[in-house]
Structure 1
Amino acid sequence: MGLALEVGILADLKTADEEGFAHFKVQFDLLNQLLAQNQLPPHVEPEEMPVFSGAMFGYSGLHYLRRVAAHLIVNGAVPEPCVDRRPTDDPVMMACYDEIATMQDARSPEWKRFDHLLCHSDAEGYYVPLEFDEVLFDFEDLGLYGVQAGSSVKLLQECLTLAKALEMPTDLDGEDEVFFDAAESQGEGEGWRRYGMECYSCIHLIQAARHSIEHGAAIVFT
């Protein structure tokens, strides 16, 4: 089990799962309420499109990439690869989240430059193909799955920045065995391959975001 990404969830469920399709139709109505509350245009989720599905590396894989983002914000440099399988225990990452929690909107633009990666749920929620600066929160308890909604446009920009910092190729398929092999041998090898877990997460998010923008569909974390 682990975090999965899907782009085109209504198209996937329309003929395969009537109950699931109805559930997510309601969810997209709630998402549009949240968008309207933030003076953003509605999202129209397509019901016919090629579906993208991808599995992240468990639930922890995302945190390896978030750790790199935190170090770039706090220290301005990519850290050594995390090899103890406990990226959330990194003091720099904890300091970054403390700053997010205490300062929130008072943070500088530099401190917000990876917000769509860092300030979103690590297990559920949405990214929509609209461009907006702040991650949206369901403060009024509408019942939105995951509570948060980010921008797949901003997520793509953030992940491409991280890919450049890691010197990771972005023209390979995330299902290429090179990414899985690198993740399995975290900290070993040379160049970007030392950051196997980070790069595995990064390439899958990049592909999901590109598919989201191309087809006008939300990324759904499940």
Structure 2
Amino acid sequence: MGLSVCVGALVDALEYDEEGAEFLRRDFALIAEEMAYMGLTPHAEPEFCEVWSADAMGYGGLHALCEVLGYAQAGQEVPRDKLLDGRETPMADAVMAEIWNLMEAGGGEAVPFAHLLLHSDSEGFYLPQDFDPPFFPVDPEGGEREISVGSAARLAMEVAALGGLLEIPDEMTVESEALMEALAAPRADGSLWQAQPIAAHTCVLLRDACALSMETGAAITFQ
């Protein structure tokens, strides 16, 4: 299964997929209603803006990046001799369990990396606002479907921290030749992103998506 990350999904759907546009409008209306209830400024998704999209490396790319986070949160070095591909994520699973416990305990304190770890890996949105924690409104007409809603501003901070850990150059993009070479042949003796190119690819993709979301005012959409 593949994962596409888009900024400006409503704009794209209005041009090419009328039914999809109505589905997105309903989701954004539910999200805005929930935000008003929470005391946040309701998000208004633009219908005219630049559209950007990129394919992630399946769901495994997100899982690999979360596993990198898991090693860091446990105070362990990210391995260089084992490629993290997202198939097995014991370190990320342990951190996620801790985060859910913190969320349930409450207390009002910010929960680290909640926007990366707790968001759905296959659908949902990141909004160009700064709020914490992520929230999950329920669609009463969609079989009690939960909608994952995170903050693009918070996600940007989270992936920036992971980008620093992975030693990712600021100028790198998902189309950079060096990243493509690392994906084809990971290197244990190079920078950490060269040893863990799957996680690095996802980190760069999310970094770019967050920047464009904040610039255009359009949500990041997982689809």
TM-score (norm 2): 0.88
- Quick check: 64-73 or 86-95, which moved more? 86-95
String of CA shifts for 1:182-206, please: whole Å, max 9, x gaps: 2233454511211101110000000
Q: How many residues align?
A: 221
Q: 1:161 to 1:107 in 2, by over 3 A?
A: farther
Q: CA deviation at 1:158?
A: 0.6
| Amino acid across the alignment from 1:25 | R
Aligned residue number for residue 138 of structure 1: 137
Q: 1:89 to 1:152 in 2, by over 3 A?
A: same
Counterpart check, 1:126 vs 2:131: no
SS in 1 for 2:59: coil
| Equivalent residues of 1:208, 1:219 under 8 A apart | yes
Aligned residue number for residue 8 of structure 1: 8
Aligned residue number for residue 149 of structure 2: 149
Where structure 2 has 5 or more consecutive residues not aligned to the other structure, the ranges are: none
| Amino acid across the alignment from 1:136 | F
| Equivalent residues of 1:62, 1:122 under 8 A apart | yes
| Equivalent residues of 2:67, 2:86 under 8 A apart | yes
Moved over 4 A (4+): 107-111, 139-146
Q: 1:107 to 1:182 in 2, by over 3 A?
A: farther
String of CA shifts for 1:69-126, please: whole Å, max 9, x gaps: 1222222x44114836554634322221222233434389998221110110011100
Counterpart check, 1:179 vs 2:179: yes
| Amino acid across the alignment from 1:62 | L
| Amino acid across the alignment from 1:218 | A
Task: Provide the C-alpha distance between the structure 2 equivalents of 1:189 and 1:82, rounded to a whole number of angstroms.
Answer: 9
Aligned residue number for residue 106 of structure 1: 105
| Amino acid across the alignment from 2:206 | L
| Equivalent residues of 1:6, 1:53 under 8 A apart | yes
Q: In the TM superposition, what are the counterparts of 1:86-101 in structure 2 within 5 Å?
A: 87=86, 89-101=88-100
Aligned residue number for residue 201 of structure 2: 200
| Amino acid across the alignment from 2:203 | C
| Equivalent residues of 2:10, 2:21 under 8 A apart | yes
Q: 1:14 to 1:189 in 2, by over 3 A?
A: farther
Aligned residue number for residue 46 of structure 2: 46
Where structure 1 has 5 or more consecutive residues not aligned to the other structure, the ranges are: none
TM-score (norm 1): 0.88
String of CA shifts for 1:9-33, please: whole Å, max 9, x gaps: 1111212221111221111111112
Aligned residue number for residue 55 of structure 2: 55
SS in 2 for 1:15: helix
Aligned residue number for residue 116 of structure 2: 117
Alignment root-mean-square deviation, CA: 2.5
- Percent of pairs identical after alignment? 33
